[in-house]
């Protein structure tokens, strides 16, 4: 699964990587948690261009009666995107890139009840894209635009830590994921391959367990 992630580069590095202008309010984040606003890139089909904006993490399907359902919809298993009612419409029509430069996973410590957090990031610390879906929900004057992170089988780096991980997209797969004309076979292929060649894992402090802590101490290596 993916319950926390980071986006620590400055705005210039993010804009250069994704070729978009960032919305107001951007700042480096070290402990992004569910229900918070996350930076995402979506394809504007009418204009034929990509744009970046803020989405709330925790997908609320358009048919939901209560937006609180989003608290349980932070991850979507790649294997069920095309069939599960909460995700299949967004999978066909509303895919996005969720911008990150790392994510956290927790490993069980043998013989102990506690779990050890790890920060998983690129060797070069470049930002990357997590596959996501987005939805627009509204009732009366209330409107919410939300998203979910797609998860898949772990790569070799992540497998010793956790049995799931967010779907990290290669540069080539980013375009395919956003392509409104992408067919089901192409999308299914993308959802089965996480780009893990440049990833590495670092044990970090348990301060990251609290979403109230959002500073560089979250990613500092343990002694």
The answer to whether 105 is a known catalytic residue is yes
pLDDT tens, residue by residue, 7-53: 999 999 999 999 999 999 999 999 999 999 999 999 987 777 999 99
Q: Note if 147 is an active site residue.
A: no
Q: DSSP states of 60-91 as a string?
A: --TT-S-GGGGGG-SEEEGGGTTT-TTTHHHH
Contact 198, 123 (CB under 8 A): yes
Are β-strands 168-169 and 128-139 bridged in parallel, bridged antiparallel, or unpaired? antiparallel
**Which of 2, 96, 147, 218 is an active site residue?**
2
- The CATH superfamily of 5-101+125-154+166-196 is SOS response associated peptidase-like (3.90.1680.10)
DSSP states of 89-145 as a string?
HHHHH-EEEEEESEEEEEEEPTTSS-EEEEEEEETT---EEEEEEEEEEEETTEEEE
Of 37, 79, 105, 153, which residue is the catalytic one?
Answer: 105
Distances (CA, A) of 172 to 19, 67, 91, 147: 14, 34, 19, 22
pLDDT, tens only, 133-179 = 999 998 877 899 999 999 999 999 999 999 999 999 999 999 999 99
């Amino acid at each position: 699964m993916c319950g926390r992630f980071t986006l620590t580069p400055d705005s210039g590095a993010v804009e250069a990587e994704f070729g978009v202008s960032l919305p107001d309010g951007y700042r480096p984040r070290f402990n992004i948690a569910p229900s918070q606003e996350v930076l995402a890139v979506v394809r504007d089909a009418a204009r034929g261009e990509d744009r970046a904006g803020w989405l709330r993490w925790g997908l609320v399907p358009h048919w939901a009666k209560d937006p609180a359902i989003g608290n349980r919809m932070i991850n979507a298993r790649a294997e069920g995107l095309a069939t599960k009612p909460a995700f299949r419409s967004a999978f066909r029509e509303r895919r996005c890139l969720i911008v990150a430069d790392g994510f956290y996973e927790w490993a069980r410590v043998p013989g102990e009840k506690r779990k050890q957090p790890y920060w998983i990031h690129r060797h070069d610390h470049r930002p990357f894209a997590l596959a996501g879906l987005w939805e627009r929900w509204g009732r009366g004057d209330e409107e919410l635009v939300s998203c979910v992170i797609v998860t898949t089988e772990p790569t070799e780096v992540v497998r010793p830590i956790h049995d799931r991980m967010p779907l990290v997209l290669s540069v080539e797969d980013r375009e395919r994921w956003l392509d409104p004309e992408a067919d089901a076979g192409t999308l299914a292929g993308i959802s089965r391959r996480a780009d893990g060649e440049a990833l590495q894992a670092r044990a970090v402090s348990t301060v990251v367990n609290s979403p109230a802590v959002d500073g560089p101490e979250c990613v500092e290596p343990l002694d």
